[in-house]
Amino acid sequence: MYIMEELKNAIKESSSAIIVLPDHASDKDYLAALQLQKIAEDKIHVLAPSDKEESWQQIFNTESRKKEFAITIDTKVTPVEELRYEKNGTSLIIYLSHRQKFDQKAISCAAHLPPSDLFVTIGFSSQEEAEVALEPLPHKGVARHLWIEDKNTAPALTAETPGDYVYDAPVRSKLAPAQAALLGRFMVRSREDFENDILWSFITREDFSKTGTSMREILLVIQSYVEIASHPPTLAIFWQHEDQKGTHGIVWSTNEQLLENMADEFDIVIKTQHVELPEFANFIEAETTVRKLLRLAL
């Protein structure tokens, strides 16, 4: 779960963000999207039903934001040698020079959005529905997805109200080569503790620098590992911060009691089958602390 400040940080850390609303979005959803857009208006785009935009523009007496519409030509289907355009009264005429029969099926038109590394979805009834809506949108690398759950009882999302119904999940995507390299180091540095039914992994600062990755990609690596490998019910992954002292960690587990013990111990929130641990002085302190809480959950 996320408080509003953390949601703001996610937006500020992104290079480009898109807030996506479904066709059935409510007025509350649209107003929440407009409020989030104010955090960084130059890099946030809102993809919302046109009727919501038009009605609220009239109420606020504001102009619509500048948008882009792209005309794409598949030159494998119909090669184009030259493109030019001219204005004729109220018409804009585009000329395409070609040497063979022109196949109109080679032309497609759609709204243009910049590739984004952060997507915020508001008003969707489920995370799965939201992720389906994101599939055709342009992604930049392994994009992050913040799903704001559609709850009729949820308060309006304002700067003063904690956004305590926001869930974080990476947009499903194949690992990039650098991330696959980090997964390899994660597996090499892992050891299974059969007595406690847990897998330990310790990732060093050097692992990040040599693979060209960052600690932000740890969760995606864990999820990829869980999908492809046979594993114990609990994974404890610790890593050194790339440019600071200290050790950070994530515990992923199907053991709900263990996650609850950790949430109580550190005053943190349980996310989707995992908790993000506070900073430890080193690997030894981190492992010792988790072992203690693990014994309490057995």
In the chain, what are the domain boundaries?
A: 4-67+112-170, 177-297
Third-level CATH fold of 177-297: Diaminopimelate Epimerase; Chain A, domain 1 (3.10.310)
Q: In what order do the strands lie in the sheet with 234-240?
A: 190-193, 198-203, 234-240, 247-253, 274-280
Strands (E), 98-159: 107-112, 116-122, 139-148
Q: Do 116 and 139 touch, CB atoms closer than 8 A?
A: yes
pLDDT digits (tens, 9 = 90+) for 158-167: 333 333 334 4
Yes or no: say if 109 and 73 are a contact pair by the CB < 8 Å rule: no
Sequence-separated (6 or more) residues with CB below 8 Å from residue 97: 80, 81, 82, 83, 84
pLDDT in tens, the chain (298 residues): 344 666 777 888 888 999 999 998 888 888 888 878 888 888 898 988 888 887 777 665 656 666 777 888 888 888 888 889 899 888 889 888 888 888 888 888 877 788 898 999 998 988 888 888 998 888 887 788 888 875 543 333 333 333 333 444 445 456 778 888 888 888 888 888 888 889 999 999 899 888 888 888 888 888 888 887 778 899 999 998 766 778 989 999 988 888 888 888 888 888 888 888 888 888 888 888 888 887 776 6
- Taking the C-alpha atoms of residue 262 and residue 256, their distance in angstroms, rounded to an integer, is 10
DSSP state, 176?
P
